[in-house]
Amino acid sequence: MENTDYKVQVFTGIRPSGGLTIANAIGAVNPIVKIQEEEEVGNTMVFVADLHALTDAEPKETQSNIVDVVKDYISLGLDVNRNRIFVQSFLTQEIAELNLYLSRLVTIAELMRVPTLKEKIKKGQNESNASALLAMYPIMMASDILLQKSEYVPVGEDQVAHIEITRVLAQKFNKKYGNVFPLPKVLSLGKPVRIKSLTGNGKMSKTDPSGAILLDDPIEISLNKVKRAQSAFAKEKSESLDSLVLIGEFVGNEKEREEILSIMKRHYDGENVMGELKGVISTGLERFLKEFQEKKASLKEEDILKKVKIDGDIARENAKETLRDVRKAMGLEYF
Ligand code: TYM
């Protein structure tokens, strides 16, 4: 195997910082489920980003959500026989080590310009109260991706800048020390998705539950949120409407997807059809959430723990092998 060969074909992670939203499912999990259904993909790997969650939560909270996120992945359709699933903190030492080397390749000013950091700063955090871990976040993400020598990374639009930073860090490293890292690419079905909050304020996020469809919530709550969701006036285009349509297409069966298409045509012809659109979306959503919740309830914690242990060992082996290449390239020998 060449140093720069990919080890993992599709790779992504989700933080265990509360229940998953439908946006997490659409942005990060669905691309893997789809290609898994359509073709024989080689090596796919997903993980629970519990170390990343430490940027804004205490370990006690995040640890208790880990098994839950693995259950979410599986209930959203990831085939356990074809996907490796691990927990990030299985690889704490390896991640910390690569972080150290990669941090040398980026300036503090460059980190401060990362859009996600700028967004947090807008939300009240600033240089005097934000932790250094927040600024290190993209480097840590690069470490996850590069340790596994990943090819495609399915993420929502908010994380695309981080994949770009990963590519830049890999290129800088390769230029300085010789080719070690293959370059990762964003995987999305079409353009990267950004599902808006149903209230119209910013992106859908676990941190703002009023505008989020949380997969574990009682179904009635989510259906009510769809009923009240921001949409658009007849003929008008809006980001909120685009997001509603994306949700509808995600949860809908073939017939419902066709209905959505024809309702949208009537919308652009000037008809008032938002109530009808929401009705079709709600039918699909109700079925989707019911199936998801039933599947999740059937999963056993002991099976999950067995799975993440076996797969964690594989992820750690990959990471150790990559670090051996990295150290050799850098000329680092530890006593
Ligand atoms: P996290 O936990 O914030 O989100 C998990 C995934 O869900 C996507 N997502 C969205 N997609 C569309 N619309 C939205 N409103 C929306 N909200 C969230 C995110 O883009 C993401 O793909 N840093 C990552 C976790 C991570 C990771 C990695 C991902 C750590 N290391 C390495 C990939 C590769 C995060 O915080 O995701």
Residues 159-186 have pLDDT tens digits of 999 999 999 999 999 999 999 999 999 9
Ligand 1 centroid to residue 113 C-alpha, Å? 19
- CB-based contacts of 163: which residues, under 8 Å, 6+ apart? 145, 153, 155, 184, 185, 186
The CA 13 to ligand 1 mean position distance, Å, reads: 7
Q: Please report the DSSP string for 25-57 in residue order.
A: IIIIIHHHHHHHHHS--S-EEEEE-TTGGGGTS
Q: So what's the pLDDT on residue 250?
A: 97
- The residue whose C-alpha atom lies closest to atom 31 belonging to ligand 1 is 141
78 pocket-lining for ligand 1 (C-beta < 6 Å): no
What is the token pair recorded at 193? 């998705």
* Ligand 1 in reach of 203 Cβ (< 6 A): yes
Q: How high is the pLDDT of residue 112?
A: 86
Residue 13 Cβ contacting ligand 1 at under 6 Å:
yes
Q: Cβ(246) to ligand 1 under 6 A?
A: no
pLDDT, position 130? 83
Q: Is the CB of 53 under 6 A from ligand 1?
A: no
d(Cα 106, Cα 247) in Å, to the nearest integer?
Answer: 37
Q: Which of 48, 78, 155 to mutate to test the pocket of ligand 1 (most atoms within 8 A of CB)?
A: 155
Residue among 80, 61, 76 at smallest CA distance from 17: 61
Q: How far is the CA of 14 from the centre of ligand 1 (A)?
A: 6
Atom of ligand 1 nearest to the CA of 27: 11
Amino acid code (one letter) for 329: A
pTM above 0.85?
A: yes
Q: How far is the CA of 24 from the centre of ligand 1 (A)?
A: 7
Question: Which tokens is 150 given?
Answer: 């990943």
Q: What residue ranges define each of the domains in the chain, with the CATH number in brackets?
A: 8-194+300-330 (3.40.50.620), 209-296 (1.10.240)
From the alpha carbon of 53, which atom of ligand 1 is closest?
36
The residue among 192, 223, 196 whose CA lies nearest residue 208 is 196
- Which three-class secondary structure string do you get for 101-113? HHHCCCCHHHHHC
Secondary structure (3-state) at 179: coil
Query: What is the block-wise mean pLDDT of the chain (335 residues), using blocks of 10 residues?
Result: 83 93 96 81 91 90 93 96 95 98 95 79 75 92 98 94 96 97 91 93 91 98 97 96 97 98 97 97 98 98 97 98 97 87
pLDDT for the residue numbered 68: 96
